[in-house]
Amino acid sequence: MRILQIIALSCLAVLGGPALASSLVEPSLHVIAGGPDRPRIALTFDACEGRTDQRILGALVDNRIPATIFATARWLSRNSAAVAILQAHPDLFQVENHGARHIPAVDRPMSVYGLAAAGSPAAVLAEAQGGADAIKAAGFATPKWFRGATAKYTTTSLAEIRSLDLGVAGYSVNGDGGAQLSAGASEKRLLSARDGDVVLAHINQPGRTAGAGVVRGILALKARGVQFVHLDDGGPGPAATAKP
């Protein structure tokens, strides 16, 4: 795999109690930079549940822009038309694992952003394996990457996921704030991306304004000459050392 930069950054409230600074980690990921003449950025989109943002999907197809889609089993089962588009464009779309039921891949009982975590090692493994099985059943290649709901983990749940031969996909630019940002703020986030960044946005919230800004940001980056890459073709070798 072409990667990887992992950094532990986060603290969250646990079961409504005080934040624990060391409770969870949030991996960061970069692809190999392309240099000033051919900057590389990897676009990744979480397809959690719900529907499909056709503004984003259509812009990617119409402009021949590659992206990595992290799909849950639930999203795959409810979006057959979008799945058919992904299947029709294997050169553009790399489909990877966002879990079976969009449950945070955390192996202890807690709440993460209001979502109940998997809560045990066995449940983390079931979430990751169930997502992988659904992707294969939908006709896509065996996934190489996993990104859990909320993209936060314990150090032990990271090891559990990797035991399934899955890389854990972090990111370096949060493009839409969980699809909660305005169109203008999302566009600004996209335009902040630099050579080697991995952008995270969402493709399952067509009713929110963030998607319009994501599209504008992507097209502006394209106009700047950015080379959009999948996670697996971002460079010729392993990524640089982790940030402090």
Q: What is the pLDDT of residues 28-82, one digit of tens each?
A: 999 999 999 999 999 999 999 999 999 999 999 999 999 999 999 999 999 999 9
Q: For residue 226, which of 92, 70, 57, 37 has the smallest C-alpha distance?
A: 37
Contacts with 173 (C-beta within 8 Å, 6 or more apart), sequence order: 189, 190, 192, 193, 197, 198, 199, 200
Measured distance CA(233)–CA(103) in Å, rounded? 28
Residue 241 domain-assigned?
no
Strands 111-112 vs 167-168: parallel, antiparallel or unpaired: unpaired
pLDDT tens by residue, 107-139? 999 999 999 999 999 999 999 999 999 999 999
Residue 110 domain-assigned?
yes
For the residues 210-224, what does the mean pLDDT come to? 98
pTM of the full predicted structure? 0.88
Counted domains in the chain: 1
Measured distance CA(235)–CA(31) in Å, rounded? 6
**Helices and strands (H, E) in the chain, number of each type:** 7, 12
With H, G, I as helix, E, B as strand and everything else as coil, classify residue 146.
strand
Print the domain residue range for 162. 12-233
Tokens coding 142? 């065996």
Residue 6 domain-assigned?
no
Which stretch of DSSP H or E encloses residue 40? Answer: strand 40-47
Q: For residue 40, which of 234, 237, 242, 238 has the smallest C-alpha distance?
A: 234
- Supply φ then ψ for residue 99, to 5 degrees: 100, 170
Residue 7 domain-assigned?
no
Measured distance CA(153)–CA(80) in Å, rounded? 30
Measured distance CA(56)–CA(207) in Å, rounded? 12
For residue 234, what pLDDT band results from cuts at 50, 70 and 90? low
239 compared with 174, residue with greater pLDDT: 174
Share of residues in the chain with pLDDT > 70 (%): 86
Q: What CATH number is attached to the domain comprising 165?
A: 3.20.20.370
Report whether pLDDT(186) > 60. yes
pLDDT of residue 27: 95
Share of residues in the chain with pLDDT > 90 (%): 85
Residue 49 domain-assigned?
yes
pLDDT of residue 23: 83
Which stretch of DSSP H or E encloses residue 121? Answer: helix 121-137
For residue 240, what pLDDT band results from cuts at 50, 70 and 90? very low
pLDDT of residue 93: 98
Residue 238 domain-assigned?
no
Residue 45 domain-assigned?
yes
Residue 213 domain-assigned?
yes
